[in-house]
Amino acid sequence: MRRSDFHFDLPPELIAQHPAPDRDGARLLVVDARTGVWSHRTIRDLPGLIPAGSLCVPNDVRVRHARLFLRRAGGGAGEALLLRSLGPGRFEALVKPGARLKPGAAATVVDPVTGADLARITVLDTLPEGLRVVQVESGHGLDWDEIDRIGRLPLPPYIDHLAEDEDETRYQTVFAAREGEAVAAPTAGLHFTPEIIATLRAQGCSWQPVRLHVGLGTFRPMTADRLEDHAMHEERFEVPEATAAALEPVLRDRSRPVLCVGTTSLRTLEGAWDGSTLARQGATRLFITPGYRLRTADHLLTNFHLPESTLFVLVSALLGLDLAQAAYAEAVRQQYRFFSYGDAMLVLNAQSTPT
């Protein structure tokens, strides 16, 4: 299949720039992959739409303040997006302008508002896919906790403002762990409140988090014309012992429904499951495309994604391309809000989707 098969027209005014006033205030398009029927609901309806006794699998990763603003040696501006730690003060990073920030180049990390100097960054090496190894220090190599104090939340490029106070809370899930090194939020989880989670538990649903350290694999655009020519960037995952103990018997005998809260949770389960056990940690480059048969999840909660993106390809794999295109066209007609701060879709019975 070609990338253009996954195009759709999206009016720019439907791209959400700010979250809904309430976390659980988003709209919800419910689509049954088995019947092709959809309905319009809200996130507050979610507990009544999920089968009682389901295992709910969110991604509890925390988004780091991984966006650094730079002043280069000649006075020009630059940026670094730190992707993962490689040791004390050393990080894998995406930098721009890449042509100027080659091995040996140094720059000052600055506050984007005041211009104050915050730290020093040095490019040490070049990695595949245009990435760099960088050293960030201010008298000593900085760890993630120190990076959190000098960097900004890396809001997606389609959000047209720097991270503000509102984003500090609303671009993190209420259940985010202290650990992790994600550069994008697991956005389906942003809709959950403690009250919704408590209601799910009260109706017998189990809350079993995993952790995918969201990186370039989730949001880097496709550039290849054919799906089979697109290479996903590797992303690391962790499956806690308690989650594995709860999920493994269910995945073996399919005795209870499994709801993945977000595409990152789905990719984690699919990447970790070998048919009998879940890997406790590892890395995945899994690209879920039409024809892929899910092995772990029955249902998926997800936001609305970019045209021609790997995430819309994933949704098309679960629904079938025709139904996915029709559902997204309905969302556009009904003026649903798109992307990270937008509304959501609940895909039911994804296992029944024909290949």
pLDDT tens digits for range 168-201: 999 999 999 988 889 999 999 999 999 999 999 9
- Candidates 302, 47, 333, 20; CA nearest to 189 is 302
How do 299-303 and 55-58 pair as beta strands? Answer: unpaired
Given a cut of 90, is residue 49 above it in pLDDT? yes
Q: What percent of the chain has pLDDT over 90?
A: 90
Q: What percent of the chain has pLDDT over 70?
A: 99
* C-alpha distance across the termini of the chain, in Å: 13
Given a cut of 90, is residue 130 above it in pLDDT? no
- Tens-digit pLDDT profile for residues 84-121: 999 999 999 999 999 999 999 999 999 999 999 999 99
d(CA 66, CA 147): 7
Residue 336 or residue 219, greater confidence: 336
Q: How many CB atoms lie within 10 A of CB 259?
A: 26
pLDDT reported for residue 344: 98
**Does domain 67-150 bear CATH number 2.40.10.240?**
yes
Query: Is omega for the bond preceding 97 within 30 degrees of 0, making it cis?
Result: yes
Q: How many CB atoms lie within 10 A of CB 308?
A: 17
The answer to whether 340 and 18 have CB atoms below 8 angstroms apart is no
Given a cut of 80, is residue 316 above it in pLDDT? yes
pLDDT reported for residue 211: 97
pLDDT reported for residue 352: 54
DSSP string covering 235-303: EEEE--HHHHHHHHHHHHHT-S-EEEESHHHHHHHHHHB-SS-B-SEEEE-----TTPPPSS-SEEEEE
Q: Mean pLDDT throughout 64-78?
A: 95
pLDDT reported for residue 342: 98
Given a cut of 70, is residue 238 above it in pLDDT? yes
- Tens-digit pLDDT profile for residues 239-256: 999 999 999 999 999 999
Enter the tokens of residue 127.
């990695």
Q: Mean pLDDT throughout 188-217?
A: 95
Q: Where are the domains of the chain?
A: 3-63+172-352, 67-150
CA dihedral 312, 338, 22, 28 (to 10 degrees): -60
Predicted TM-score (pTM) of this structure:
0.94
Find how far residue 346's CA is from the centre of its chain: 16
Q: Mean pLDDT throughout 283-301?
A: 95
Enter the tokens of residue 236.
């690391």
Residues in a beta bridge with 351: none
d(CA 12, CA 342): 13
Three-class DSSP category at 130? helix
Return mean pLDDT, the chain. Answer: 95
Given a cut of 50, is residue 355 above it in pLDDT? no
One-letter amino acid of 49 = L
One-letter amino acid of 20 = A
Q: Mean pLDDT throughout 308-325?
A: 96
One-letter amino acid of 348 = L
Interior CA angle at 282 toward 303 and 172, to 5°?
Answer: 35
Q: Quick one: residue 104, left, alpha or beta (phi over 0 = left, psi -120 to 50 = alpha)? A: left
The answer to whether 95 and 80 have CB atoms below 8 angstroms apart is yes
- Candidates 345, 344, 340; CA nearest to 16 is 340
The set of residues, in sequence order, having a beta carbon less than 8 Å from that of 207 and lying 6+ positions away, is 56, 58, 175, 197, 200, 201
Given a cut of 80, is residue 52 above it in pLDDT? yes
Please give the CATH topology (third level) of the domain spanning 3-63+172-352: QueA-like (3.40.1780)
pLDDT reported for residue 220: 79
Q: How many CB atoms lie within 10 A of CB 335?
A: 12
Given a cut of 80, is residue 216 above it in pLDDT? no
